[in-house]
């Protein structure tokens, strides 16, 4: 088991925990992380939070919790993340690189509906233009 808090500290608490964990044996670290998981379940944080903590590691988990501090976070589905990444590639290749759909399909190992992703690219372009306009309207001259 890799010891948590080996990355540069992001807060005083992070630095303090790094110092404590540095002194622990691997067995101690394993036991401590299991206790954190049990306490999270006891506090009604549920197994999803425990799974997340185990996936990203305790130090990153504490950073995430500190950043979102009590707010509710909803994760997208795995399918939605895949679609998002594919859209990013399609947009980049189509709009930034000027590639045609047949070139994009030949480049990417994914099955792509050009009609569907073409519509998503238009929607993304409109969204980005709106955000740029909002940004510039907020600038005081």
pLDDT in tens, 105-114: 999 998 899 9
Give the C-alpha separation, 25 to 119, whole Å: 55
- Tell me, what DSSP letter sits at residue 7? S
Cβ–Cβ under 8 Å, residues 53 and 61: yes
pLDDT in tens, 83-133: 999 999 999 999 999 999 999 999 999 889 999 999 999 999 999 988 888
């Amino acid at each position: 088991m890799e010891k948590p808090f080996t990355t540069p500290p992001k807060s005083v608490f992070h630095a303090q925990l790094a110092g404590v964990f540095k002194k622990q044996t691997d067995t101690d670290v394993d036991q401590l992380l299991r206790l954190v998981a049990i306490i999270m379940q006891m506090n009604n944080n549920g197994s999803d939070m425990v799974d997340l903590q185990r996936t990203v590691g305790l130090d990153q988990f504490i950073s995430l919790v500190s950043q979102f501090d009590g707010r509710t976070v909803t994760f997208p589905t795995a399918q939605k993340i895949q679609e998002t990444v594919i859209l990013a590639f399609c947009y980049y290749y189509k709009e930034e690189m000027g590639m045609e759909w047949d070139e994009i399909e030949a480049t990417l190992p994914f099955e792509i509906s050009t009609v569907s992703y073409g519509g998503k690219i238009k929607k993304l372009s409109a969204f980005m233009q709106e955000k740029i306009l909002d940004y510039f309207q907020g600038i005081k001259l």
